[in-house]
Structure 1
């Protein structure tokens, strides 16, 4: 994949590290998902992309992080976030192209969060579209002249992670 004129390579070392960290878990197989149930404000599950985006003129690379969240007391109850290291130039809304399991591309409007490094989509419909999916690709423009970013996510363990989030949030899964 080409990002800002630089080729982005899969992050296999991070995959191995994450897989090694999860070897001693008990309970449902959450794959590479990391669930955080320690907050009264929200319960989250996060997953690093299987590819890296190159930043800093090609000197640094990072994997965007997809986070699914549920708020036990609040609206919207469910949301999803995409955390980036490079800021997008949009200030309020950004169009993200979404491909689930290699199907057709759908364009969605996401809000731009703090310092342009978090993209947010509220509502449970985004979580529903992923519930039985195996793969997710998100693509967006960083800015008018700065190219596109793309993040690929292998969603193994997602239905278990959603179930755990919903149970901790004391609600039904979307």
Structure 2
């Protein structure tokens, strides 16, 4: 690794000094030298895999769109999280994290569009109305081969709708990594 960094630094200095003509492949060479030439992690796209304090293995992804907060001043991207519990039921679950609460108290209907196919599902409303939860592996199964997911819901009777769009690149590898850490088969 240190040798790769020395090579990268030398190439960078030579390129900046004007004594070596920079070819289009120089940035790729610098990156490869800095990384040691090989990647050991699978390409998870924008998914972030983590182990929670409750021993759940999770993969999270920010929506590609922004929602405007209730005050109208700030925008944020909702976060989709897929999770596996090592012990306990339900083993698999998914949830959508919001900054603005929904007015529903127990259940909410969410329109789910997976690669253009639409269905309505009933999700549970979590603490303070800011988390929408769906338990079971069937929800995750529907996403494994998908490339795009759109979730749409009503914030309240007079509040309008919210919508979150997700590009799912890297999802199958993220689910594989979660399942391996959870010591179970992928859905």
Residue 40 of structure 1: CA displacement? 5.8
Question: Larger Rg: 1 or 2?
Answer: 2
Residues 1:79 and 2:80 aligned together: no
> The residue matched to 1:95 in structure 2 has which SS?
strand
Aligned-partner Cα distance in 2 for 1:148–1:38? 30
- In the other structure, the counterpart of 1:12 is none
What runs of 5+ residues in structure 2 fail to find an aligned partner? 1-34
TM-score w.r.t. length of structure 1: 0.83
What runs of 5+ residues in structure 1 fail to find an aligned partner? 1-23
Aligned-partner Cα distance in 1 for 2:102–2:54? 30
> The residue matched to 2:99 in structure 1 has which SS?
coil
| Contact 2:179/2:185 (8 A) holds in 1 | yes
Aligned-partner Cα distance in 1 for 2:51–2:158? 40
TM-score w.r.t. length of structure 2: 0.78
Please, which of 145, 148, 157 is the counterpart of residue 144 of structure 1?
Answer: 157
Residues 1:37 and 2:46 aligned together: no
Q: For residues 77-129 of structure 1, give each alpha carbon's deviation from its aligned partner in whole angstroms, at most 9, with x where no partner exists.
A: 000000000000000000000000122x1000000001000000000000000
In structure 2, do the counterparts of structure 1 residues 124 and 108 end up closer, same or farther at CA, with 3 Å as the change threshold? same
Residue 55 of structure 1: CA displacement? 1.1
Residues 1:101 and 2:112 aligned together: no
In structure 2, do the counterparts of structure 1 residues 162 and 143 end up closer, same or farther at CA, with 3 Å as the change threshold? same
Aligned-partner Cα distance in 1 for 2:73–2:95? 26
| Contact 1:40/1:72 (8 A) holds in 2 | no
Q: For residues 13-66 of structure 1, give each alpha carbon's deviation from its aligned partner in whole angstroms, at most 9, with x where no partner exists.
A: xxxxxxxxxxx7741100000000365621000000000000133211000000
Aligned-partner Cα distance in 1 for 2:52–2:121? 30
- In the other structure, the counterpart of 2:123 is 110
Residues 1:49 and 2:53 aligned together: no
| Contact 1:37/1:168 (8 A) holds in 2 | no
- In the other structure, the counterpart of 1:134 is 147
Instruction: Choose between structure 1 and 2: higher helix proportion.
Output: 2
> The residue matched to 1:130 in structure 2 has which SS?
coil
Give the number of aligned pairs: 150
**Greater length-normalized contact order (CA 8 Å, ≥ 6 residues apart):** 1
In the TM superposition, structure 1's runs of 4+ consecutive aligned residues that sit over 6 Å from their partners are none
In structure 2, do the counterparts of structure 1 residues 40 and 58 end up closer, same or farther at CA, with 3 Å as the change threshold? closer
Aligned-partner Cα distance in 2 for 1:75–1:35? 20
